[in-house]
Structure 1
Amino acid sequence: MISQTNAAPPDELLERFRAGQRTALARAISIVEDGRAGFERILHQLHTDLGRAHRIGVTGPPGAGKSTLTSKLALEFRKAEEKVGIVAVDPSSPFTGGALLGDRIRMNNISTDPGIFIRSMASRGHLGGLATTTKEVADLLDAYGYDRVVLETVGVGQSELEIAGTADTSVVVLVPESGDSIQAMKAGLMEVADIFVINKADRPGADRLAQELELMLHMRLGEAPSNAGHHGVSLKSVQKAAREGLRSRADESGGWAIPVLKTVAQSGEGLQELARTLDLHRVYLQGSGELSRRRQARLAERVRAVVERRLQRLAWRMGPGEQILADSLQSLESGEVSPYAVADRIVTELGVEPR
């Protein structure tokens, strides 16, 4: 049963939403993003409409050209008459709390297309590269009927790993001048990526970065190309051996060989191949059962998040938590009580046995 604090939204909103009115979609997103009364009821009633969209995460360091890549990728999908929803997460303004950069401005070349919907969201200090309600806004775009939902992260580097639990397919975007491929390993992006994209590949260093990434992907499998240690062997030949090894291992195991693609998003170079590779990965996910596994994991995490959100509301907004905390501050400062004892009191007031 949905919490009574989330009163049912007007039937008229859901009717207009299901009728395909963009104003209803925008209003539903605002309600969910702001956590207004009724937002859980909206998501509850639309849950049966989920599961049709291919959710694509686009992540990587700042300056990698993710917004340009996303806009050009959307155009590729539009060529196939697919509808595209884009959630672009930007840093928050410290004054208004709103999106600071405004990706809709950077994507103004596609913003007038009726088959594309763009929503900029503020990260509001969330450190996972996504806003706290990005996943739920993606649900709305899925339920609305978009064929592809692209989630572009804020671009904060090492804290972007949350995208792996949000998207069906994760695309990690790097650029030659962002440093050598060891930075990708430090950030944990090797474990996140389903597809690597080296953007701005017309700049020096792109080929070498691609070679290093493919070699590292091969070594992650626990082996190195047989000629990797030979003197006089070029990195390019090692790259070829690594690529062939990755494909061979993937064929044997029925897995996915992570590709390393090169694009120049500004000119559109390589975008057709990226769109095709995304289609191939979606086919792999469906055929291998991995898509079901990823979506079940995402739903399990959603249930946990909803439970945590409701417990926090019970403890702090509806329960006596804030008052107990305020009354305990002097005792906490003097050392008479510990934070754990105060937490026990708050939890006990909720009717839960403290651990």
Structure 2
Amino acid sequence: MERLIQKIIQGDKRSVAKAITIIENDLQEKYDLLQHLYLHKRRAHVIGITGAPGAGKSTLVDRLIQEIRGEGLKIAIIAIDPSSPFSGGALLGDRVRMQKHATDSGVFIRSMGSRGTLGGLAKATKETVRILDMMGNDLIVIETVGVGQSELEIMNVADSTVVVLNPGAGDSIQAFKAGLMEIADIFVINKSDLPGTQKLYHEIELLIETTKQKAEWKPPIVKTISTEHQGIIELWTSLQNHFSFIKEKGILDRQRREDLAKEFEEILHQFFQHQIEQWKKQDTYHVIMDQIYHQKLNLIDVAKQTYQQLINEKNE
């Protein structure tokens, strides 16, 4: 494992891909790898790009890569694609759209299937961010699934969250309903050459005034036409301004501390879930379930006893 970690630190893409696969597939080496990852202090600026399907997120990310690489910065992209509920596979279409960057040594692109995870992210997103940070990237961009009203998990991973909207699609109302207004650090009106751009701009302005009255940071609204590279420089400037702001105000440290606490809780859940899955394979589990079903045992009492038993087994 030490050799793999060294290779990741050196920026070896093959080793990075191997480490991400270990995390994604819950392989035996996962927790050994995580122990090394959590010793590494995060440095990269993590950017979340979210919004409804068809908003042009992938093209926007593609153009943003060009802008960032123009300054010589290293960048990694995690493109989350929806998984099939039947096969569990994903089309990984976002990676196809960004293929022209594949030969750039300063760009690393990883597509991940959501695998049924809600919130617009994949299960292994947080750990993958840590791997890509250890790799030495200056920026890590996460493009969410784009399912509309369940994209809020990105706020627990990204330092800066960009919400992408389109004119004429009723997106501002959808964003308000979904809670996206609350998590947006920057708004992008993409395809701003379409009718209804000014109307959407004023709607967002009004919502910002309504919901962000006491906020230290007022989200800027950036108009883009990503297919023509318009507004991308303004977006990149807004992202840099936001990152500088949250660092200076101590918000970045506070956010990352809260994110670490959430990760700690999630790992605890994983340990318990693993123990429960092992217990379900035993005959006693099925006997107890049968007794609960026939009301010979009380479900709550059994749950309390089982919890205590699992704690005792872990301590032993």
TM-score relative to the length of structure 2: 0.93
The equivalent of 1:152 in structure 2 is: 143
Residue 227 of structure 2 is aligned to residue 266 of structure 1: yes
- SS of aligned partner of 2:195: coil
Displacement of 1:266: 1.2
Q: Partners of 1:90 and 1:71 in 2: how far apart?
A: 16
2:262 aligned to which of 294, 297, 301: 301
1:334 aligned to which of 273, 294, 308: 294
Residue 110 of structure 2 is aligned to residue 119 of structure 1: yes
Deviations 1:267-307 (A, max 9, x none): 11100100011000011011000000111011111111111
Q: Partners of 1:180 and 1:31 in 2: how far apart?
A: 38
- SS of aligned partner of 1:256: coil
- SS of aligned partner of 1:171: strand
What is the correspondence of 1:222-233 to structure 2 with a 5 Å cutoff? none
Displacement of 1:13: 1.7
What is the correspondence of 1:1-355 to structure 2 with a 5 Å cutoff? 9=1, 11-221=2-212, 255-317=216-278, 319=279, 323-351=283-311
Q: How many residue pairs end up in the alignment?
A: 313
With over 3 angstroms needed to count, the CA separation of the structure-2 counterparts of 1:340 and 1:23, relative to structure 1, is: same
With over 3 angstroms needed to count, the CA separation of the structure-2 counterparts of 1:320 and 1:101, relative to structure 1, is: closer
Displacement of 1:103: 1.5
The equivalent of 1:234 in structure 2 is: none
- SS of aligned partner of 1:150: strand
With over 3 angstroms needed to count, the CA separation of the structure-2 counterparts of 1:48 and 1:350, relative to structure 1, is: closer
Deviations 1:13-52 (A, max 9, x none): 2232222211111101111111111212212213343321
- SS of aligned partner of 2:47: strand
Aligned sequence identity (%): 44
- SS of aligned partner of 1:121: strand
Tell me if structure 1 keeps the 8 A contact 2:187–2:222: yes
With over 3 angstroms needed to count, the CA separation of the structure-2 counterparts of 1:83 and 1:327, relative to structure 1, is: same
**Matching residue's letter, 2:204:** L
Displacement of 1:323: 4.0
Q: Partners of 1:323 and 1:113 in 2: how far apart?
A: 54
The equivalent of 1:240 in structure 2 is: none
Displacement of 1:176: 1.2
**Matching residue's letter, 2:220:** P
**Matching residue's letter, 1:336:** K
**Matching residue's letter, 1:346:** T
Deviations 1:123-158 (A, max 9, x none): 111111111110110110011101000011111111
Tell me if structure 2 keeps the 8 A contact 1:325–1:342: no
- SS of aligned partner of 1:173: strand
Tell me if structure 2 keeps the 8 A contact 1:196–1:258: yes
With over 3 angstroms needed to count, the CA separation of the structure-2 counterparts of 1:326 and 1:193, relative to structure 1, is: same
- SS of aligned partner of 2:218: coil
With over 3 angstroms needed to count, the CA separation of the structure-2 counterparts of 1:54 and 1:39, relative to structure 1, is: same
Displacement of 1:321: 7.0
Tell me if structure 1 keeps the 8 A contact 2:182–2:211: no
For structure 2, the residue ranges without an aligned partner over 5 or more in a row are none
Tell me if structure 2 keeps the 8 A contact 1:47–1:143: no
Q: Partners of 1:351 and 1:13 in 2: how far apart?
A: 33
**Matching residue's letter, 2:159:** D
TM-score relative to the length of structure 1: 0.83
With over 3 angstroms needed to count, the CA separation of the structure-2 counterparts of 1:341 and 1:324, relative to structure 1, is: farther
**Larger CA deviation: 329-338 vs 181-190:** 329-338
Deviations 1:71-126 (A, max 9, x none): 11111110010111001111112344232343211212222222111111111111
**Matching residue's letter, 2:219:** I
Tell me if structure 2 keeps the 8 A contact 1:161–1:192: yes
- SS of aligned partner of 1:350: helix
**Larger CA deviation: 334-343 vs 257-266:** 334-343
Q: Partners of 1:72 and 1:337 in 2: how far apart?
A: 61
With over 3 angstroms needed to count, the CA separation of the structure-2 counterparts of 1:15 and 1:204, relative to structure 1, is: same
* RMSD (CA atoms): 1.9
Q: Partners of 1:41 and 1:344 in 2: how far apart?
A: 31
Larger radius of gyration: 1
**Matching residue's letter, 1:116:** V
